[in-house]
Amino acid sequence: MRKIQPILLIIGAVILLVFWVIFGLWNYKQMTKPITTIRG
């Protein structure tokens, strides 16, 4: 049972990193596209 905990922590950290990168890229794509909608 002690071997499962570090693996779960690593998997959780990787999932958080991947989710953060995807969310950052999605925010960047949304920020670059609606430039005309923010100004208008």
pLDDT tens readout for residues 1-40: 667 788 999 999 999 999 999 999 888 887 776 656 555 4
Confidence at residue 37, expressed as pLDDT on a 0 to 100 scale: 58
Tell me if 19 is assigned to some domain.
Answer: yes
pTM of the model: 0.54
How many domains does the structure of the chain reveal?
1
Considering the domain boundaries, does residue 40 fall inside one? no
Phi, psi of 34, rounded to the nearest 5 degrees: -85, 50
Domain residue limits at 11 = 1-31
Q: What's the token pair of residue 32?
A: 């670059």
Asked if the structure places residue 39 within a domain, the reply is: no
User: Is 22 exposed, middle or buried, given 0-12, 13-18 or 19+ CB atoms closer than 10 A?
Assistant: exposed
Q: Is position 37 within any domain? A: no
Residue 32: phi and psi, rounded to 5, are -80, -25
Residue 20 CA: distances (Å) to CA of 9, 14, 30, 37, 40 = 16, 10, 15, 25, 30
